[in-house]
Structure 1
């Protein structure tokens, strides 16, 4: 049943557009016009123009692959009759850069039949859409050989379509809608977004495709890192449809035996997930009755906040380390306690999301060591030393007394350690399994997401994201993904702008500050005006201005297009800003 639902989810999300200029011998790279995500192409299937040359047929076929409607009907128009009937494209879809070549094969690859040619499609694979409808970034050469045969009516058609669909980036974003499907953190009621992509057309079927993804569970990347309150045998009874009175009806079955608390979580994840594809009120039924007693119809505003724990409070303005001391980011004043008074030579620090705990890395006796304790108090020395320790990062969940009880750091770029508060108030370190990450290289920065499900890292100057998978006996960083491989290099620091997007700073003058979604589908470069490279530190948080540090001080901006403004507490000394988390 579960596998069947996953198959339905994959089949529910595939589409393409046609069109390209004819080139007699070779088509040079052409940039396809960018379209915003969710602006779908016309779904009407039209036959190709007559007398297209074989190169244009191949090129238009690649673009038409992005239209999954009617069993890839648009792409099948470029196939000969036998291929059109037999083609069963696989569940994986390759996304290539908008600039790609189509050229005629030469030499031994030239068919003997004068009515046949081999067209070679060459481009750069930037990732793939997995069967679970999540995007997996990559960077590698892509090549496809298509046998194009002249038909009896004189038209060129493809006879060997590929097993896996391929489409340019712009056609993918024009024909697919990004949906943050919501699940929950393993040990709290904090929602965790799982970025998935569903076919934009037909628009009336969008909600059903989102519900299908929810029922199929989290993407492979997040399995073990989140929990799904929807039980294994949950399903929909009939169709997800719009009722005559304008409500979106979701008729669930298999959830009737859940507790009232779990039913409220199910309602929340459904309504929050559907927010990306509908403005209708949502009618949630369980075996014909309201899923939540006394609450049949739901608006987005009816759902309480399940992400507040993943964002620092407005009363916590952030901090910064300056000349070995910790100061307020709001007014530059030294914080209370020894960390602000200069008792320690502070290298870096992290404040817990609730603001009550502070972890610092200090230089002492020729090495770096960790201290952890109450904010404003005297932090305890932890038995954790090394040549270097990365800036600490707090796990969001709290211990029995309501204070944060787990902080992470990386020792000498190789050992990821989580430091836990013990029952007697002390702190002890435990190793995190980071073998998959370390195959890429040493870790120079690590930031846990404020929902605790993921970790963003800087590894060999590259930006990585991995899921945090917890079992009773271990914690593992699993499935690391390099974001914008080949395009984003020289990364020196990173922080979480939101639960599904990152801000990174680099040593590259052309892109000192960038914004990247957690699946790496795209990258937006911030305005570099007023910055003095190199930029070496960044902090970000939901609803907060981004703060970066360069050779002249601190700068702040809230959006990609903004000009950087001097921070009110900017200092000329080497300074590292940080928001709680």
Structure 2
């Protein structure tokens, strides 16, 4: 439980139970204050602090009244106390043993407001008191550190009792932690831990596909150690069915290890318990690759090297960053050579992905040099093939990006009566398979063409409620983003790809556990993957105007700045290599691109359907 420090602070009230401590200075302004007695109307909030500011709480003062005890406890839980030791001082001995702050974190729109019950609530006694914590839920972070959007009313009770020493203490409280949104953003950071796609290559020496599993950890409380423990405990529940870990079951940090950090060579040494003592070198390097990728966002410069140690302190293996790509492919490891769009002649053209000065050129092959007019296209991740949707949306063609190559017959047709009821922009996954949705109201289907050819597979989606309007598959091949339309509203949903391919039989592919990741938007018009676990989305809230924002696959909003405003956006393209610019189709400006730290720049006035490989 905690107080939201944003929105109501700066009132200049005296500090009684908390102090915000910055680097080398004591900052008094902005910490919540404690009334000596009376009703507790709400937890005072302070402006959001810089991420480098450390916040420490004070223990309860002698003779503090119930309102002050509750207030101090809530404030203590928004501090950087690693084990919540200060917060526990507000509890009775029995409550300390029963309370588990790590079970979950509930995020409210504001810090929990309170309603008090009068003293003497227990048969006329005057030695107990109750407060009800209320608020509007925004999200929940579970015991696996997994974030999930949430909604509805929050209503929990905190009970206090007068101890024999005449000090008030809390003896009844909900499990876990609750705090306001701005306190959550100050206390927690989203970081990806990495596993391997279970449907990827399995042969000796085969390169594995990494899959990001985003979780939230406390930013100022040994985040690297938290992340290692979270990684070793395994993937979050939603991702678990489609990924694997190289760590033997039961592997943990060696007993007594409390903090991990890079040394002066930017190497992180990770001592493990006996469960990992007998792994072979090949398995160990896969374990090290998982750790190395997980560490990259935890330090400003990343980590150059990981050493794993046996329980006796001897070396198990070492992996340096340059070697990791040989073990497992990473979403940002391969930089696309080109960015693509449809020009004013309705042909597929390309331009260098990192250089906006060169003019677009037609792609080699029939999709750029032929007579077939296109409205949308997708380029394979190795940039050797492309798929194009005909100008009327009825036909899908696949061709190689080799000069002089012929196009051949369409691989798929839609019977939809209008262009908007026909084929969506296709998408290639990391295994070379091609995905597309047919929006025909009479026969809506999500389809998969293995290696872009053959009879299409109908992909089952048991929890899909609506018609698919857009499809984007992640580089890892186990997650898919869909724009789904129903009753005039469209939402962004993420699903898990399940493949059941028995030898000699036609594979069965399905999308499971679809979940909305931008519930605040009632109309989503465009989206694209923009990192290992991030998407860029164009849409609007109820009664609002069009906006562009980043969202995480777990439904949270990353702290990173949203892209600068752009009007009339019809389509958006981003690379999973976050260093590359966004590219958009704007009704007013045509094809435009946005590089980091710059403003939108026009590429060509007449152009549509921008895409990166994928």
Which band: TM-score by shorter chain?
A: 0.7 to 0.9
Counterpart in the other structure of 2:547: 512
Cα distance, 1:286–1:352 mapped onto 2, change above 3 Å: same
SS of structure 2 residue aligned to 1:190: strand
Please tell me whether residue 316 in structure 1 is matched to residue 338 in structure 2: yes
Residue number in structure 2 paired with 1:6: none
Instruction: Choose the corresponding residue for 1:142, options 132, 145, 154.
Output: 154
Distance 1:39 1:216, change over 3 A: farther
What pairs up with 1:167-178 in 2 under 5 angstroms? 167-178=179-190
- Maintained 8 Å contact 1:30/1:100: no
SS at match of 1:146: strand
Q: Secondary structure at the match of 2:241?
A: coil
Question: RMSD in angstroms over aligned alpha carbons?
Answer: 3.8
2:521 corresponds to 1:461: no
1:236 Cα offset (Å): 4.7
CA contact (8 A) 1:118 1:147 kept: yes
Whether the aligned pair in 2 keeps the contact of 1:94 and 1:127 (CA below 8 Å) is yes
One of 573, 578, 584 as aligned partner of 1:539: 573
Matched, 1:284 2:314: no
Alpha-carbon offset, residue 95 of structure 1: 2.0
- Confirm or deny: 8 A CA contact 1:511 1:525 kept in the other structure: no
**Cα deviation code 1:70-120 (max 9, x no counterpart):** 7533333333455345434572221223454223369xx999656655433
Q: Following the alignment from structure 2 to structure 1, what is the Cα–Cα distance between the partners of residues 495 and 262? A: 45
Aligned to 2:389: 361
Distance 1:209 1:395 in 2: 32
Aligned pair count reads 537
Q: Which residue of 2 aligns with 1:92?
A: 104
Confirm or deny: 8 A CA contact 1:371 1:382 kept in the other structure.
Answer: yes
Structure 1: stretches of 5+ with no match in the other structure = 1-15, 398-403
Match of 1:565 among 600, 610, 613: 600
Correspondences of 1:52-451 after superposition (within 5 Å): 54-55=66-67, 57-66=69-78, 72-80=84-92, 82-89=94-101, 91-104=103-116, 116-149=128-161, 157-186=169-198, 187-188=200-201, 189-200=208-219, 202-203=221-222, 206-232=223-249, 234-240=251-257, 248-251=269-272, 253-255=274-276, 258=279, 260-277=281-298, 282-286=306-310, 289-292=314-317, 296=318, 298-300=319-321, 303-304=324-325, 306-307=328-329, 313-320=335-342, 322=344, 324-329=346-351, 331-340=359-368, 343-364=371-392, 368-375=394-401, 377-378=406-407, 380-385=409-414, 386=416, 387-397=421-431, 404-409=432-437, 411-412=439-440, 414-421=444-451, 426-436=453-463, 438-439=464-465, 441-451=466-476
- 1:366-420 per-residue CA deviation (whole Å, 9 max, x = no partner) reads x6232223235415412442433221111112xxxxxx34434354485322111
The alpha-carbon distance between structure 1 residues 234 and 52, as it changes in their structure 2 partners (threshold 3 A), is: closer
Is contact 1:468-1:475 (8 Å) kept?
Answer: yes
Q: In the alignment, what sits opposite 1:46?
A: 58
> SS of the residue aligned with 2:32?
coil
With over 3 angstroms needed to count, the CA separation of the structure-2 counterparts of 1:111 and 1:55, relative to structure 1, is farther
Q: Which is further off, 427-436 or 113-122?
A: 113-122
Do the aligned partners of 1:321 and 1:347 also contact (CA within 8 Å) in 2? no
Contact 2:365 2:399 in 1 (8 A): no
Q: CA deviation at 1:580?
A: 0.8
CA offsets 1:526-546 (integer angstroms, 9 cap, x no match): 3545x33x3221000112101
Contact kept? 1:37, 1:178, Cα under 8 Å: no
- Displacement of 1:552 in angstroms is 0.8
Deviation at 1:450, TM superposition (A): 1.6
Deviations 1:160-218 (A, max 9, x none): 20134322333334444443212123315232221223345653xx5443332232221
Deviation at 1:339, TM superposition (A): 3.1
Instruction: Classify 1:117/1:245 alpha carbon distance in 2 versus 1 (closer, same or farther; 3 Å).
Output: closer
Assess if the C-alpha contact under 8 Å between 1:313 and 1:354 holds in 2.
no
1:63 is displaced (CA, Å) by: 4.2
Residue deviations 1:206-235 (CA, integer Å, cap 9, x gap): 544333223222111211222222233545
**Offset of residue 25 of structure 1:** 4.6
Deviation at 1:578, TM superposition (A): 0.8
Aligned equivalents of 2:246, 2:221: Cα separation in 1: 29
Contact 2:592/2:604 (8 A) holds in 1 = no
Name the counterpart of 1:8. Answer: none
Match of 2:504 in 1: none
Q: Partner of 1:224: helix, strand, or coil?
A: helix
RCO (CA 8 Å, sep 6+): is it higher in 1 or 2? 1
Distance 1:567 1:112 in 2: 75
Counterpart CA distance in 2 for 1:429 and 1:244 is 49
Q: Quick one: distance in 2 between partners of 1:153 and 1:233?
A: 45
Contact between 1:17 and 1:63, CA under 8 Å: does it hold in 2? no
CA distance in 1, matches of 2:531, 2:215: 16
CA, structure 1 residues 280+315, in 2 after alignment: closer, same or farther (shift >3 Å)?
Answer: closer
Tell me by how many angstroms 1:39 deviates: 5.8
* Contact persistence 1:76–1:84 (CA under 8 A): yes
* 1:54 CA drift (Å): 4.6
**TM-score, normalised on structure 2?**
0.75
Deviation of 1:505 after TM superposition, in Å, equals 1.1
Q: CA deviation at 1:492?
A: 0.9
1:145–1:244 Cα change, 3 Å: closer
